[in-house]
Copies of this chain bind each other. A is one copy, B any other.
Amino acid sequence: MGGARYRPPPRAGTFPARYTTGVSVLAKPILISIDAMGGDHGPSVMIPGAALALEGLAGREVRFLLHGDSAAIGAELAKAPAVAAVSEVRHTDTKIASDEKPSQALRRGKGTSLWNAVEAVKLKTADAAVSGGNTGALMAISKLQLRMAEGFDRPAIVASWPTARGITAVLDVGANIECDAAQLVEFAIMGEAFFRAVHGGAGSRPSVGLLNIGSEEQKGHDELREANQTLHEVDLEMDYRGFVEGNDIAKGTVDVVVTDGFTGNVALKTGEGLARFFAHELRAALTGSPMGKLGALLASGALKRLRARLEPPGGGPFLGLNGIVVKSHGGADARGVADAIKIAANLAASDYARDAARNMERLGAAMRAVKTISEASQ
């Protein structure tokens, strides 16, 4: 980890003691490891993002491990005393470039701010990692260091969309180009546990759908039909609703929409493009005439709330790993970074991992039973 330097936070006196002694589970702070150099803007957005996240997480004790250039981070911390008060800086001179290929990042990534941020989760010195670094590199390094959780075959990236009914989680949105039926079933299990942990709350029963198209007779690929059958037949603790279509995402028909990474990525990016187009056209419509301008001025409060409501949450967690890693958009602003940090904190404070593991055990037991029956009947 080369040259890790400790930067004592202004009110550090109580911090290491409280963190290491762990008075009770409830009082234990959540420790988020942040790649301060990742994303297009580095510390100048990551630190203000952390400050916003602290406000949003008021009432919960959160601490940060900040990985990266200590001078650049220090300069930002000087402007954000609330963050400085709960942060420890871990210096490193190196970082992953935004265009670095995953294979290259794996070879030469050791000791970079991204690597160290994930390593802290592996070493259990942090509960979750957040990075705005390039997705491929972050995924490769996270898989290498954290490995897959028991029973899970492939990680998935989950996106949280604002919808008519609140939030819909869509996964996978880019980690896996091709997925077989077993992976789609895994995604359903991970996605349901994620939704409960971050959006639904403990004890909630998120509904789950499998993304398909409406063509009558040749309804979907074979793997979709097979995954649909498994999710219907295996007794998982899940409110599975069968197939949904593209328009059901924005409708919020179900809480969790499961799809392969190619389709999910296209849907997500198509949606992002449309949201930007709508915002642009709305602005153009309202500034194109004097009456429009006056109307827009009067309605500015409402329009501002509308923009905030349509903005997608900035964090896309990687699910299925032995540890929590949240990717924030490379181009995210402080609000986007804050979203990613809040998602990381909510996941860390939740029963997500045990929740997903329980359903994986149910699935495994059902699959073993099917195998036993089919062997016995031969």
Contact = CB atoms under 8 A, between A and B. Distances in A.
A136 B216 contact: yes
Contact of A298 (B245, B270, B295): B295
Contacts of A277: 163-164, 250-251
A157 to B, nearest CB: 11
A296 interface: yes
A228 to B, nearest CB: 15
A27 interface: no
Nearest to A173: B213
Contacts of A134: 216
A299 B292 contact: yes
Nearest to A105: B216
Interface string A208-226: 0001011111101100000
Candidate in A286, A288, A289, A295 with the most chain B CB atoms within 10 angstroms: A295
A278 B298 CA distance: 20
Contacts of A281: 306, 309-310
A162 to B, nearest CB: 8
Contacts of A177: 213, 215, 218, 220-221
A294 interface: yes
Interface in A253-270: 259, 261-263, 265-270
Residue among A99, A135, A277 having the largest count of chain B Cβ atoms under 10 Å: A277
Contacts of A292: 298-299, 301-302
Given A164-B277, A302-B288, A310-B278, A247 B272 contact: yes
A295 to B, nearest CB: 3
B285 A302 contact: yes
A302 B291 contact: yes
B301 A215 contact: no
B270 A267 contact: yes
A174 interface: yes
A123 B335 CA distance: 62
B302 A273 contact: no
A50 B286 CA distance: 33
B266 A211 contact: yes
Contacts of A262: 213, 220-221, 263
Contacts of A301: 289, 291-292
Contacts of A101: 216-217
B273 A275 contact: no
A242 interface: no
Q: By CB atoms of chain B within 10 A, which of A134, A213, A288, A296 has the most?
A: A213
Contact of A250 (B211, B259, B270): B270
A305 interface: yes
Interface string A158-173: 0000011000000000
Nearest to A103: B217
Interface in A280-325: 280-282, 285-286, 288-289, 291-292, 294-303, 305-306, 309-310
10 contacts: A103-B217, A164-B280, A178-B221, A214-B265, A246-B272, A282-B306, A285-B306, A286-B302, A292-B301, A292-B302
Given A270-B271, A285-B305, A296-B299, 19 more contacts: A102-B217, A103-B217, A136-B216, A164-B280, A174-B215, A177-B220, A177-B221, A211-B266, A214-B269, A246-B267, A249-B270, A249-B274, A266-B267, A278-B310, A281-B310, A286-B303, A291-B302, A292-B299, A295-B297
Which 7 pairs, one residue from A and one from B, show the smallest C-beta to C-beta distance? A295-B299, A246-B269, A247-B273, A295-B298, A250-B273, A292-B302, A246-B270
